[in-house]
Chains A and B, each alone.
Chain A
Protein backbone atom coordinates (compact mmCIF):
# COMPACT_ATOMS: atom_id res chain seq x y z
CA UNK A 1 0.00 0.00 0.00
CA UNK A 2 1.40 3.39 -0.93
CA UNK A 3 1.65 6.12 1.68
CA UNK A 4 -1.19 7.98 0.01
CA UNK A 5 -3.42 4.90 -0.03
CA UNK A 6 -2.61 4.17 3.63
CA UNK A 7 -3.44 7.72 4.61
CA UNK A 8 -6.69 7.50 2.67
CA UNK A 9 -7.55 4.27 4.50
CA UNK A 10 -6.93 5.91 7.89
CA UNK A 11 -9.09 8.85 6.93
CA UNK A 12 -11.85 6.54 5.75
CA UNK A 13 -11.77 4.61 9.02
CA UNK A 14 -11.93 7.83 10.98
CA UNK A 15 -14.98 8.91 9.00
CA UNK A 16 -16.67 5.56 9.65
CA UNK A 17 -15.78 5.70 13.35
CA UNK A 18 -17.31 9.17 13.61
CA UNK A 19 -20.46 7.83 11.98
CA UNK A 20 -20.66 4.83 14.35
CA UNK A 21 -20.09 7.06 17.38
CA UNK A 22 -22.88 9.35 16.21
CA UNK A 23 -25.19 6.36 15.76
CA UNK A 24 -24.33 5.13 19.27
CA UNK A 25 -25.08 8.58 20.69
CA UNK A 26 -28.55 8.58 19.08
CA UNK A 27 -29.30 5.16 20.57
CA UNK A 28 -28.05 6.15 24.02
CA UNK A 29 -30.17 9.31 23.86
CA UNK A 30 -33.21 7.19 22.82
CA UNK A 31 -33.55 9.47 19.81
CA UNK A 32 -34.83 6.55 17.78
CA UNK A 33 -36.67 8.59 15.15
CA UNK A 34 -33.42 10.26 14.12
CA UNK A 35 -31.60 6.94 14.38
CA UNK A 36 -34.04 5.40 11.90
CA UNK A 37 -33.16 8.16 9.42
CA UNK A 38 -29.67 6.64 9.11
CA UNK A 39 -31.13 3.59 7.34
CA UNK A 40 -31.94 3.22 3.66
CA UNK A 41 -35.40 1.87 2.94
CA UNK A 42 -34.03 -1.43 1.66
CA UNK A 43 -31.97 -1.87 4.84
CA UNK A 44 -31.84 -4.86 7.18
CA UNK A 45 -31.18 -5.05 10.92
CA UNK A 46 -30.35 -8.56 12.12
CA UNK A 47 -29.36 -10.29 15.36
CA UNK A 48 -28.75 -14.04 15.01
CA UNK A 49 -29.33 -16.52 17.84
CA UNK A 50 -26.40 -17.00 20.21
CA UNK A 51 -25.83 -20.60 19.11
CA UNK A 52 -26.00 -19.80 15.37
CA UNK A 53 -24.04 -16.54 14.86
CA UNK A 54 -23.84 -17.26 11.11
CA UNK A 55 -27.63 -17.67 11.02
CA UNK A 56 -29.45 -16.93 7.76
CA UNK A 57 -33.01 -15.68 8.31
CA UNK A 58 -34.18 -17.58 5.22
CA UNK A 59 -33.85 -20.87 7.07
CA UNK A 60 -32.50 -20.27 10.60
CA UNK A 61 -34.28 -18.85 13.63
CA UNK A 62 -33.02 -15.34 14.41
CA UNK A 63 -33.44 -13.13 17.45
CA UNK A 64 -34.12 -10.13 15.21
CA UNK A 65 -34.68 -10.02 11.47
CA UNK A 66 -36.01 -6.54 10.64
CA UNK A 67 -36.56 -5.13 7.20
CA UNK A 68 -37.17 -1.39 7.08
CA UNK A 69 -40.91 -1.76 7.77
CA UNK A 70 -40.35 -3.77 10.92
CA UNK A 71 -37.43 -1.62 11.99
CA UNK A 72 -39.76 1.37 11.79
CA UNK A 73 -42.35 -0.64 13.75
CA UNK A 74 -39.68 -1.44 16.35
CA UNK A 75 -39.01 2.27 16.76
CA UNK A 76 -42.74 3.02 16.98
CA UNK A 77 -43.10 0.30 19.61
CA UNK A 78 -40.14 1.48 21.69
CA UNK A 79 -41.51 5.03 21.59
CA UNK A 80 -44.80 3.72 23.03
CA UNK A 81 -45.41 3.67 26.77
CA UNK A 82 -46.94 0.21 26.33
CA UNK A 83 -43.64 -1.37 25.34
CA UNK A 84 -43.61 -2.43 28.98
CA UNK A 85 -40.13 -3.94 29.04
CA UNK A 86 -38.67 -0.60 28.01
CA UNK A 87 -41.01 1.78 29.78
CA UNK A 88 -39.39 3.44 31.51
CA UNK A 89 -36.38 3.07 29.22
CA UNK A 90 -33.13 1.46 30.22
CA UNK A 91 -30.06 3.62 30.32
CA UNK A 92 -27.74 2.27 27.69
CA UNK A 93 -24.12 2.83 26.73
CA UNK A 94 -23.20 1.65 23.24
CA UNK A 95 -19.40 1.28 22.91
CA UNK A 96 -17.77 0.65 19.53
CA UNK A 97 -14.14 -0.29 18.82
CA UNK A 98 -11.80 -2.48 16.72
CA UNK A 99 -13.29 -0.82 13.66
CA UNK A 100 -12.15 -2.22 10.32
CA UNK A 101 -13.28 -0.91 6.94
CA UNK A 102 -13.14 -2.56 3.54
CA UNK A 103 -14.28 -0.88 0.35
CA UNK A 104 -16.83 -2.71 -1.77
CA UNK A 105 -17.94 -2.04 -5.34
CA UNK A 106 -20.61 0.58 -6.02
CA UNK A 107 -19.44 3.04 -3.36
CA UNK A 108 -20.32 0.67 -0.52
CA UNK A 109 -18.26 -0.15 2.55
CA UNK A 110 -18.04 -3.32 4.60
CA UNK A 111 -17.42 -2.48 8.26
CA UNK A 112 -16.76 -4.77 11.17
CA UNK A 113 -16.43 -3.59 14.75
CA UNK A 114 -16.55 -4.93 18.29
CA UNK A 115 -19.25 -3.69 20.63
CA UNK A 116 -20.25 -3.72 24.23
CA UNK A 117 -23.71 -2.44 25.01
CA UNK A 118 -24.39 -1.83 28.68
CA UNK A 119 -27.99 -1.71 29.86
CA UNK A 120 -29.04 -0.41 33.27
CA UNK A 121 -32.58 -0.45 34.61
CA UNK A 122 -34.26 -0.63 38.00
CA UNK A 123 -31.04 -1.34 39.88
CA UNK A 124 -29.88 -4.07 37.53
CA UNK A 125 -27.11 -4.10 34.96
CA UNK A 126 -26.43 -6.29 31.97
CA UNK A 127 -23.99 -6.24 29.12
CA UNK A 128 -24.15 -7.39 25.51
CA UNK A 129 -20.85 -8.20 23.80
CA UNK A 130 -20.30 -9.03 20.17
CA UNK A 131 -19.36 -8.01 16.67
CA UNK A 132 -21.11 -5.56 14.38
CA UNK A 133 -21.18 -6.11 10.64
CA UNK A 134 -22.32 -3.09 8.64
CA UNK A 135 -22.79 -2.41 5.00
CA UNK A 136 -22.63 1.37 4.53
CA UNK A 137 -23.32 3.53 1.50
CA UNK A 138 -22.00 6.98 0.80
CA UNK A 139 -24.83 9.47 0.61
CA UNK A 140 -24.82 13.16 -0.19
CA UNK A 141 -24.64 14.07 3.50
CA UNK A 142 -22.63 11.22 4.96
CA UNK A 143 -23.02 7.47 5.26
CA UNK A 144 -26.26 5.51 5.04
CA UNK A 145 -26.82 2.09 6.63
CA UNK A 146 -27.73 -0.64 4.12
CA UNK A 147 -27.33 -3.45 6.64
CA UNK A 148 -26.53 -3.75 10.33
CA UNK A 149 -25.98 -7.11 11.97
CA UNK A 150 -25.06 -7.67 15.63
CA UNK A 151 -23.53 -11.11 16.32
CA UNK A 152 -23.47 -11.86 20.03
CA UNK A 153 -20.45 -13.45 21.67
CA UNK A 154 -22.35 -14.48 24.80
CA UNK A 155 -23.19 -18.21 24.55
CA UNK A 156 -26.81 -17.47 25.56
CA UNK A 157 -29.07 -14.66 26.80
CA UNK A 158 -29.23 -15.89 30.42
CA UNK A 159 -27.37 -12.85 31.77
CA UNK A 160 -29.35 -10.28 29.78
CA UNK A 161 -32.85 -11.81 29.58
CA UNK A 162 -33.93 -10.44 26.23
CA UNK A 163 -32.98 -8.14 23.37
CA UNK A 164 -35.66 -5.53 23.92
CA UNK A 165 -33.22 -2.67 23.38
CA UNK A 166 -31.57 -1.92 20.05
CA UNK A 167 -27.97 -3.13 19.92
Chain B
Protein backbone atom coordinates (compact mmCIF):
# COMPACT_ATOMS: atom_id res chain seq x y z
CA UNK B 1 0.00 0.00 0.00
CA UNK B 2 2.71 2.51 0.92
CA UNK B 3 5.28 3.66 -1.62
CA UNK B 4 7.67 4.52 1.19
CA UNK B 5 7.46 8.19 0.21
CA UNK B 6 8.15 10.56 3.09
CA UNK B 7 5.03 12.65 3.63
CA UNK B 8 5.40 16.38 3.32
CA UNK B 9 4.30 17.81 6.62
CA UNK B 10 3.04 21.36 6.64
CA UNK B 11 4.56 23.61 9.28
CA UNK B 12 2.66 23.14 12.52
CA UNK B 13 1.41 26.70 12.67
CA UNK B 14 -2.20 25.60 12.66
CA UNK B 15 -3.79 23.67 15.45
CA UNK B 16 -5.43 20.35 14.77
CA UNK B 17 -9.17 19.86 15.16
CA UNK B 18 -10.43 18.78 18.59
CA UNK B 19 -13.35 16.93 17.01
CA UNK B 20 -12.25 16.23 13.43
CA UNK B 21 -14.83 16.20 10.67
CA UNK B 22 -12.97 13.21 9.22
CA UNK B 23 -13.13 10.37 11.74
CA UNK B 24 -10.52 7.71 11.01
CA UNK B 25 -10.89 4.69 13.29
CA UNK B 26 -8.52 1.95 12.09
CA UNK B 27 -9.12 -0.19 15.20
CA UNK B 28 -12.87 -0.09 14.65
CA UNK B 29 -12.41 -0.41 10.86
CA UNK B 30 -14.62 2.59 10.38
CA UNK B 31 -14.00 5.79 8.41
CA UNK B 32 -16.58 8.54 8.38
CA UNK B 33 -16.82 12.09 7.02
CA UNK B 34 -19.25 14.58 8.45
CA UNK B 35 -21.48 15.92 5.68
CA UNK B 36 -20.86 19.53 6.70
CA UNK B 37 -17.58 19.08 4.79
CA UNK B 38 -19.72 19.29 1.65
CA UNK B 39 -22.26 21.90 2.68
CA UNK B 40 -20.73 24.43 5.09
CA UNK B 41 -19.90 27.90 3.71
CA UNK B 42 -17.33 28.34 6.53
CA UNK B 43 -15.55 25.15 5.53
CA UNK B 44 -15.64 26.22 1.90
CA UNK B 45 -13.99 29.55 2.77
CA UNK B 46 -11.37 27.74 4.83
CA UNK B 47 -10.66 25.40 1.88
CA UNK B 48 -9.93 28.38 -0.36
CA UNK B 49 -7.43 29.74 2.21
CA UNK B 50 -5.89 26.52 3.48
CA UNK B 51 -6.02 24.21 0.48
CA UNK B 52 -6.35 26.10 -2.79
CA UNK B 53 -3.98 28.90 -1.69
CA UNK B 54 -1.47 26.44 -0.18
CA UNK B 55 -1.17 23.64 -2.75
CA UNK B 56 0.42 23.14 -6.15
CA UNK B 57 -2.41 23.58 -8.67
CA UNK B 58 -2.42 22.42 -12.28
CA UNK B 59 -2.23 25.28 -14.80
CA UNK B 60 -1.83 23.53 -18.14
CA UNK B 61 0.51 21.56 -20.29
CA UNK B 62 3.62 22.98 -21.96
CA UNK B 63 2.50 21.47 -25.26
CA UNK B 64 -0.38 23.96 -25.29
CA UNK B 65 2.11 26.79 -25.82
CA UNK B 66 4.86 25.34 -28.06
CA UNK B 67 5.95 28.58 -29.80
CA UNK B 68 7.34 31.83 -28.33
CA UNK B 69 4.41 34.13 -27.54
CA UNK B 70 1.85 31.28 -27.40
CA UNK B 71 -0.51 31.78 -24.47
CA UNK B 72 -3.55 30.30 -22.74
CA UNK B 73 -5.62 32.00 -20.09
CA UNK B 74 -7.80 30.27 -17.54
CA UNK B 75 -8.73 30.47 -13.90
CA UNK B 76 -6.47 28.57 -11.50
CA UNK B 77 -7.66 28.17 -7.97
CA UNK B 78 -10.48 30.54 -8.89
CA UNK B 79 -8.06 33.32 -9.86
CA UNK B 80 -7.57 34.69 -13.38
CA UNK B 81 -4.10 33.84 -14.64
CA UNK B 82 -2.44 33.30 -17.99
CA UNK B 83 0.46 31.19 -19.12
CA UNK B 84 2.70 32.43 -21.93
CA UNK B 85 5.93 31.17 -23.49
CA UNK B 86 8.39 34.04 -23.26
CA UNK B 87 9.64 35.36 -26.60
CA UNK B 88 13.12 36.18 -25.24
CA UNK B 89 13.66 33.28 -22.83
CA UNK B 90 11.43 30.49 -24.11
CA UNK B 91 10.36 30.00 -20.49
CA UNK B 92 6.83 29.20 -19.41
CA UNK B 93 5.67 32.35 -17.60
CA UNK B 94 2.55 32.28 -15.44
CA UNK B 95 1.16 35.70 -14.54
CA UNK B 96 -1.73 37.08 -12.56
CA UNK B 97 -4.01 38.36 -15.29
CA UNK B 98 -4.34 41.92 -14.06
CA UNK B 99 -2.83 45.22 -15.07
CA UNK B 100 -0.47 46.58 -12.42
CA UNK B 101 -1.95 50.04 -12.98
CA UNK B 102 -5.62 49.75 -12.03
CA UNK B 103 -6.54 46.15 -12.48
CA UNK B 104 -8.10 45.28 -15.83
CA UNK B 105 -7.34 41.95 -17.47
CA UNK B 106 -4.37 42.20 -19.81
CA UNK B 107 -5.02 38.87 -21.55
CA UNK B 108 -8.57 38.74 -22.85
CA UNK B 109 -8.50 35.75 -25.18
CA UNK B 110 -8.53 32.11 -24.14
CA UNK B 111 -5.58 31.26 -26.35
CA UNK B 112 -3.41 32.73 -29.08
CA UNK B 113 0.02 34.13 -29.84
CA UNK B 114 1.21 37.59 -28.94
CA UNK B 115 4.48 39.39 -28.29
CA UNK B 116 2.75 42.00 -26.15
CA UNK B 117 -0.19 42.16 -23.78
CA UNK B 118 -1.78 45.55 -23.72
CA UNK B 119 -4.32 46.62 -21.14
CA UNK B 120 -7.01 48.30 -23.24
CA UNK B 121 -8.11 50.57 -20.39
CA UNK B 122 -5.12 52.96 -20.35
CA UNK B 123 -2.89 51.14 -22.86
CA UNK B 124 -0.18 50.01 -20.45
CA UNK B 125 1.74 47.41 -22.42
CA UNK B 126 3.66 44.37 -21.19
CA UNK B 127 5.85 41.93 -23.08
CA UNK B 128 5.66 38.13 -22.92
CA UNK B 129 8.23 38.10 -20.09
CA UNK B 130 6.00 40.41 -18.06
CA UNK B 131 8.08 43.59 -18.37
CA UNK B 132 6.23 46.88 -18.56
CA UNK B 133 7.22 48.27 -21.96
CA UNK B 134 4.74 51.03 -22.60
CA UNK B 135 3.00 53.70 -20.50
CA UNK B 136 1.27 56.49 -22.44
CA UNK B 137 2.21 59.97 -21.30
CA UNK B 138 4.87 58.66 -18.93
CA UNK B 139 6.10 62.22 -18.20
CA UNK B 140 3.01 62.81 -16.06
CA UNK B 141 4.43 60.55 -13.36
CA UNK B 142 6.80 61.94 -10.74
CA UNK B 143 9.92 60.13 -9.62
CA UNK B 144 8.04 58.07 -7.03
CA UNK B 145 6.86 55.54 -9.58
CA UNK B 146 9.41 52.92 -10.57
CA UNK B 147 8.08 51.38 -13.77
CA UNK B 148 10.62 48.55 -13.60
CA UNK B 149 8.73 47.26 -10.56
CA UNK B 150 5.36 47.41 -12.28
CA UNK B 151 5.78 44.43 -14.56
CA UNK B 152 3.11 41.74 -14.57
CA UNK B 153 2.96 39.91 -11.26
CA UNK B 154 4.13 36.32 -11.48
CA UNK B 155 2.24 33.68 -9.55
CA UNK B 156 4.37 33.03 -6.47
CA UNK B 157 5.69 29.64 -7.58
CA UNK B 158 5.67 27.94 -10.99
CA UNK B 159 7.28 24.58 -11.72
CA UNK B 160 6.60 21.80 -14.16
CA UNK B 161 7.02 18.06 -14.28
CA UNK B 162 7.07 16.16 -17.62
CA UNK B 163 5.37 19.16 -19.23
CA UNK B 164 2.60 19.46 -16.63
CA UNK B 165 2.78 23.07 -15.38
CA UNK B 166 1.76 23.73 -11.79
CA UNK B 167 1.55 26.99 -9.87
CA UNK B 168 1.18 27.81 -6.20
CA UNK B 169 0.11 31.03 -4.55
CA UNK B 170 2.17 30.03 -1.50
CA UNK B 171 5.76 31.29 -1.83
CA UNK B 172 6.88 28.94 0.94
CA UNK B 173 5.55 25.69 -0.49
CA UNK B 174 7.92 22.75 -0.99
CA UNK B 175 9.26 22.19 -4.50
CA UNK B 176 6.93 20.46 -6.97
CA UNK B 177 8.86 17.18 -7.12
CA UNK B 178 8.78 16.78 -3.35
CA UNK B 179 5.09 17.65 -3.38
CA UNK B 180 4.25 15.16 -6.14
CA UNK B 181 6.03 12.39 -4.21
CA UNK B 182 4.91 8.98 -5.52
CA UNK B 183 2.66 10.57 -8.17
CA UNK B 184 5.79 11.32 -10.23
CA UNK B 185 6.23 7.64 -11.08
CA UNK B 186 2.67 7.41 -12.34
CA UNK B 187 2.99 10.56 -14.46
CA UNK B 188 6.13 8.91 -15.88
CA UNK B 189 4.13 5.78 -16.73
CA UNK B 190 1.60 7.86 -18.66
CA UNK B 191 4.12 10.04 -20.49
CA UNK B 192 6.68 7.30 -21.20
CA UNK B 193 3.85 5.03 -22.33
CA UNK B 194 3.08 7.73 -24.91
CA UNK B 195 6.64 7.54 -26.19
CA UNK B 196 7.88 10.36 -23.96
CA UNK B 197 6.06 13.23 -25.65
CA UNK B 198 2.41 14.14 -25.14
CA UNK B 199 -0.01 16.86 -26.17
CA UNK B 200 -3.59 17.90 -25.49
CA UNK B 201 -6.06 17.25 -28.30
CA UNK B 202 -7.96 20.30 -29.56
CA UNK B 203 -11.36 20.64 -27.89
CA UNK B 204 -11.97 21.21 -24.18
CA UNK B 205 -14.72 19.96 -21.89
CA UNK B 206 -15.80 22.77 -19.57
CA UNK B 207 -18.86 21.96 -17.52
CA UNK B 208 -20.23 22.62 -14.05
CA UNK B 209 -22.69 20.98 -11.74
CA UNK B 210 -24.35 21.43 -8.39
CA UNK B 211 -22.26 19.31 -6.04
CA UNK B 212 -19.29 19.71 -3.74
CA UNK B 213 -15.89 19.37 -5.42
CA UNK B 214 -14.76 16.59 -3.07
CA UNK B 215 -17.54 14.36 -4.38
CA UNK B 216 -15.84 14.60 -7.78
CA UNK B 217 -12.51 13.69 -6.18
CA UNK B 218 -14.15 10.55 -4.78
CA UNK B 219 -16.03 9.76 -7.99
CA UNK B 220 -12.96 10.11 -10.20
CA UNK B 221 -11.37 7.01 -8.68
CA UNK B 222 -14.38 5.13 -7.39
CA UNK B 223 -14.34 1.57 -8.71
CA UNK B 224 -17.36 0.63 -6.60
CA UNK B 225 -19.89 2.78 -8.48
CA UNK B 226 -19.06 1.65 -12.00
CA UNK B 227 -21.38 -1.35 -12.33
CA UNK B 228 -24.46 0.30 -10.88
CA UNK B 229 -24.10 3.87 -12.10
CA UNK B 230 -22.74 3.01 -15.54
CA UNK B 231 -24.85 0.00 -16.44
CA UNK B 232 -25.96 1.60 -19.72
CA UNK B 233 -22.36 2.33 -20.73
CA UNK B 234 -21.27 -1.26 -20.16
CA UNK B 235 -24.34 -2.50 -22.06
CA UNK B 236 -23.22 -0.26 -24.93
CA UNK B 237 -19.70 -1.74 -24.83
CA UNK B 238 -21.15 -5.25 -24.98
CA UNK B 239 -23.44 -4.25 -27.87
CA UNK B 240 -20.46 -3.19 -29.98
CA UNK B 241 -18.47 -6.32 -29.17
CA UNK B 242 -16.37 -5.69 -26.07
CA UNK B 243 -15.89 -8.80 -23.96
CA UNK B 244 -16.49 -7.77 -20.34
CA UNK B 245 -15.89 -11.21 -18.82
CA UNK B 246 -12.38 -10.32 -17.65
CA UNK B 247 -13.82 -7.90 -15.13
CA UNK B 248 -11.88 -5.31 -13.14
CA UNK B 249 -9.13 -6.26 -10.74
CA UNK B 250 -6.55 -4.14 -8.97
CA UNK B 251 -5.51 -2.13 -5.94
CA UNK B 252 -5.17 1.38 -4.54
CA UNK B 253 -1.77 2.95 -3.87
CA UNK B 254 -1.08 5.79 -1.42
CA UNK B 255 1.29 8.12 -3.28
CA UNK B 256 1.96 10.45 -0.36
CA UNK B 257 0.83 14.02 0.38
CA UNK B 258 -2.82 13.21 -0.31
CA UNK B 259 -2.21 11.80 -3.80
CA UNK B 260 -3.51 8.33 -4.57
CA UNK B 261 -4.14 6.02 -7.50
CA UNK B 262 -6.09 2.89 -8.26
CA UNK B 263 -4.36 0.61 -10.76
CA UNK B 264 -6.25 -2.26 -12.32
CA UNK B 265 -6.85 -4.46 -15.30
CA UNK B 266 -10.10 -3.91 -17.18
CA UNK B 267 -11.83 -5.40 -20.21
CA UNK B 268 -11.62 -2.41 -22.54
CA UNK B 269 -8.93 -1.77 -25.13
CA UNK B 270 -6.32 0.97 -24.75
CA UNK B 271 -4.78 3.00 -27.59
CA UNK B 272 -1.50 2.52 -25.67
CA UNK B 273 -1.38 -0.41 -26.09
CA UNK B 274 -4.01 -3.09 -25.63
CA UNK B 275 -5.86 -4.21 -28.71
CA UNK B 276 -9.47 -5.34 -28.66
CA UNK B 277 -11.60 -6.54 -31.58
CA UNK B 278 -13.50 -3.23 -31.65
CA UNK B 279 -10.31 -1.52 -32.87
CA UNK B 280 -10.34 -3.56 -36.07
CA UNK B 281 -7.66 -5.80 -37.56
CA UNK B 282 -5.81 -2.89 -39.16
CA UNK B 283 -5.09 -1.33 -35.77
CA UNK B 284 -3.73 -4.59 -34.42
CA UNK B 285 -0.41 -4.29 -36.26
CA UNK B 286 0.03 -0.73 -35.05
CA UNK B 287 -0.80 -1.58 -31.42
CA UNK B 288 1.53 -4.59 -31.50
CA UNK B 289 4.29 -2.33 -32.80
CA UNK B 290 3.63 0.26 -30.05
CA UNK B 291 3.72 -2.39 -27.39
CA UNK B 292 6.89 -3.90 -28.84
CA UNK B 293 8.55 -0.47 -28.68
CA UNK B 294 7.58 -0.12 -25.03
CA UNK B 295 9.07 -3.53 -24.18
CA UNK B 296 12.28 -2.67 -26.03
CA UNK B 297 12.62 0.64 -24.21
CA UNK B 298 11.33 -0.18 -20.75
CA UNK B 299 11.33 -3.96 -20.33
CA UNK B 300 8.34 -6.29 -20.14
CA UNK B 301 7.18 -5.43 -16.60
CA UNK B 302 7.08 -1.69 -17.13
CA UNK B 303 5.66 -2.09 -20.63
CA UNK B 304 2.87 -4.18 -19.12
CA UNK B 305 2.16 -1.44 -16.57
CA UNK B 306 2.00 1.13 -19.38
CA UNK B 307 0.03 -0.90 -21.89
CA UNK B 308 -2.41 -3.09 -20.01
CA UNK B 309 -2.84 -1.47 -16.58
CA UNK B 310 -5.39 1.32 -16.07
CA UNK B 311 -4.74 4.20 -13.69
CA UNK B 312 -7.15 6.61 -12.02
CA UNK B 313 -4.98 9.09 -10.15
CA UNK B 314 -5.65 12.07 -7.92
CA UNK B 315 -2.90 14.66 -7.57
CA UNK B 316 -4.05 16.45 -4.46
CA UNK B 317 -6.13 18.48 -4.25
CA UNK B 318 -7.83 18.91 -7.64
CA UNK B 319 -6.04 17.25 -10.56
CA UNK B 320 -7.19 13.94 -11.98
CA UNK B 321 -5.20 11.99 -14.53
CA UNK B 322 -7.20 8.96 -15.59
CA UNK B 323 -5.34 6.70 -18.00
CA UNK B 324 -8.04 4.25 -19.03
CA UNK B 325 -9.55 3.66 -22.52
CA UNK B 326 -8.32 7.20 -23.17
CA UNK B 327 -6.40 9.65 -20.99
CA UNK B 328 -8.15 12.58 -19.34
CA UNK B 329 -6.48 15.45 -17.52
CA UNK B 330 -9.23 16.97 -15.42
CA UNK B 331 -9.07 19.81 -12.94
CA UNK B 332 -11.82 21.53 -10.98
CA UNK B 333 -12.55 24.33 -8.57
CA UNK B 334 -15.44 25.12 -6.25
CA UNK B 335 -16.88 28.65 -6.63
CA UNK B 336 -19.32 27.64 -3.86
CA UNK B 337 -19.78 24.66 -1.50
CA UNK B 338 -22.43 23.18 -3.79
CA UNK B 339 -20.93 24.05 -7.18
CA UNK B 340 -17.95 22.68 -9.06
CA UNK B 341 -16.41 23.99 -12.29
CA UNK B 342 -14.70 21.21 -14.24
CA UNK B 343 -12.22 21.59 -17.10
CA UNK B 344 -10.96 18.48 -18.87
CA UNK B 345 -8.64 17.72 -21.76
CA UNK B 346 -7.74 14.60 -23.73
CA UNK B 347 -4.03 13.81 -23.49
CA UNK B 348 -2.40 11.85 -26.30
CA UNK B 349 1.01 10.89 -27.70
CA UNK B 350 2.41 13.74 -29.79
CA UNK B 351 2.97 11.66 -32.90
CA UNK B 352 0.07 9.27 -32.65
CA UNK B 353 -1.06 7.42 -35.81
CA UNK B 354 -4.29 9.01 -37.07
CA UNK B 355 -6.42 5.89 -36.68
CA UNK B 356 -5.40 5.42 -33.04
CA UNK B 357 -5.93 9.13 -32.29
CA UNK B 358 -9.44 8.84 -33.69
CA UNK B 359 -10.08 5.72 -31.59
CA UNK B 360 -8.71 7.46 -28.47
CA UNK B 361 -10.92 10.52 -28.92
CA UNK B 362 -13.91 8.31 -29.68
CA UNK B 363 -13.41 6.39 -26.42
CA UNK B 364 -12.93 9.66 -24.52
CA UNK B 365 -16.13 11.29 -25.66
CA UNK B 366 -18.15 8.12 -25.17
CA UNK B 367 -17.12 7.49 -21.56
CA UNK B 368 -15.44 10.62 -20.17
CA UNK B 369 -17.18 13.40 -22.07
CA UNK B 370 -20.26 15.35 -20.92
CA UNK B 371 -22.09 14.21 -24.07
CA UNK B 372 -21.17 10.58 -23.55
CA UNK B 373 -22.82 7.56 -21.99
CA UNK B 374 -21.31 7.82 -18.49
CA UNK B 375 -20.32 11.30 -17.25
CA UNK B 376 -23.91 12.65 -17.27
CA UNK B 377 -24.84 9.83 -14.90
CA UNK B 378 -21.90 10.67 -12.63
CA UNK B 379 -23.11 14.26 -12.54
CA UNK B 380 -26.59 13.02 -11.65
CA UNK B 381 -25.16 10.87 -8.84
CA UNK B 382 -23.10 13.68 -7.33
CA UNK B 383 -25.91 16.22 -7.53
CA UNK B 384 -28.17 13.62 -5.99
CA UNK B 385 -25.75 13.21 -3.05
CA UNK B 386 -25.59 16.96 -2.56
CA UNK B 387 -29.38 17.15 -2.52
CA UNK B 388 -29.43 14.31 0.00
CA UNK B 389 -27.08 16.21 2.31
CA UNK B 390 -29.34 19.25 2.34
CA UNK B 391 -32.09 17.33 4.04
CA UNK B 392 -30.10 16.75 7.20
CA UNK B 393 -31.18 13.81 9.34
CA UNK B 394 -28.14 11.74 8.39
CA UNK B 395 -24.93 13.44 9.48
CA UNK B 396 -22.16 11.14 8.23
CA UNK B 397 -20.86 9.60 5.02
CA UNK B 398 -19.34 6.15 5.39
CA UNK B 399 -16.05 5.57 3.55
CA UNK B 400 -14.97 2.36 5.30
CA UNK B 401 -15.11 -0.04 2.37
CA UNK B 402 -12.09 -2.35 2.32
CA UNK B 403 -10.70 -1.39 5.75
CA UNK B 404 -10.85 -4.96 6.98
CA UNK B 405 -8.81 -6.38 4.12
CA UNK B 406 -5.95 -5.58 1.83
CA UNK B 407 -7.85 -2.92 -0.14
CA UNK B 408 -8.85 -3.49 -3.73
CA UNK B 409 -9.45 -1.05 -6.60
CA UNK B 410 -13.19 -1.06 -5.93
CA UNK B 411 -12.69 -0.24 -2.24
CA UNK B 412 -12.41 3.24 -0.76
CA UNK B 413 -8.84 3.40 0.59
CA UNK B 414 -7.78 5.91 -2.11
CA UNK B 415 -10.56 8.23 -0.90
CA UNK B 416 -9.39 7.83 2.69
CA UNK B 417 -5.90 8.94 1.57
CA UNK B 418 -7.44 12.13 0.20
CA UNK B 419 -9.63 12.74 3.22
CA UNK B 420 -6.81 12.24 5.76
CA UNK B 421 -4.74 14.84 3.97
CA UNK B 422 -7.74 17.19 3.72
CA UNK B 423 -8.36 16.97 7.46
CA UNK B 424 -4.66 17.51 8.18
CA UNK B 425 -4.51 20.60 5.98
CA UNK B 426 -7.79 22.02 7.25
CA UNK B 427 -6.83 21.50 10.89
CA UNK B 428 -9.07 23.33 13.33
CA UNK B 429 -11.12 24.73 10.42
CA UNK B 430 -12.62 21.25 9.98
CA UNK B 431 -13.91 20.77 13.48
CA UNK B 432 -17.30 19.42 14.45
CA UNK B 433 -17.67 22.11 17.08
CA UNK B 434 -17.70 24.68 14.30
CA UNK B 435 -19.77 22.57 11.95
CA UNK B 436 -22.72 22.09 14.26
Contacts and interface: CB of A to CB of B under 8 A. Distances in A.
Nearest to B368: A61
Contact of A49 (B203, B358, B379): B203
Contacts, number: 124
Contact of B379 (A63, A73, A80, A162): A162
Interface stretch (A34-42, A64-72, A97-105, A133-141): A64-72
The majority secondary structure among interface residues of chain A is loop
A64 B373 CA distance: 10
Given A62-B203, A62-B365, A157-B205, A86 B376 contact: yes
A48 B236 CA distance: 22
A127 to B, nearest CB: 15
Interface stretch (B1-9, B17-25, B120-128, B206-214): B206-214
A59 B379 contact: no
B112 to A, nearest CB: 12
A4 interface: no
A12 B201 CA distance: 40
A126 B376 CA distance: 15
A65 B208 contact: no
Chain A interface size, as a band, is: 35 or more
B202 interface: yes
A58 interface: yes
B370 A162 contact: yes
B239 interface: yes
A73 B371 contact: no
B206 A59 contact: no
A57 B201 contact: no
Contact of A161 (B202, B209, B232, B364): B209
Contacts of B376: 83-86, 161-164
Interface string B232-264: 100110011000000000000000000000000
B29 interface: no
A20 interface: no
A76 B371 CA distance: 15
B361 A162 contact: no
Interface in A134-164: 156-164
A61 B206 contact: no
18 contacts: A51-B206, A52-B204, A55-B202, A57-B362, A59-B202, A62-B371, A64-B369, A76-B236, A77-B232, A77-B236, A84-B229, A84-B376, A156-B206, A157-B205, A157-B370, A158-B207, A162-B370, A162-B379
Given A59-B358, A61-B346, A77-B236, 16 more contacts: A59-B357, A59-B361, A60-B361, A61-B202, A63-B370, A73-B240, A80-B232, A80-B235, A83-B232, A83-B377, A84-B380, A84-B381, A161-B208, A161-B370, A162-B209, A163-B376
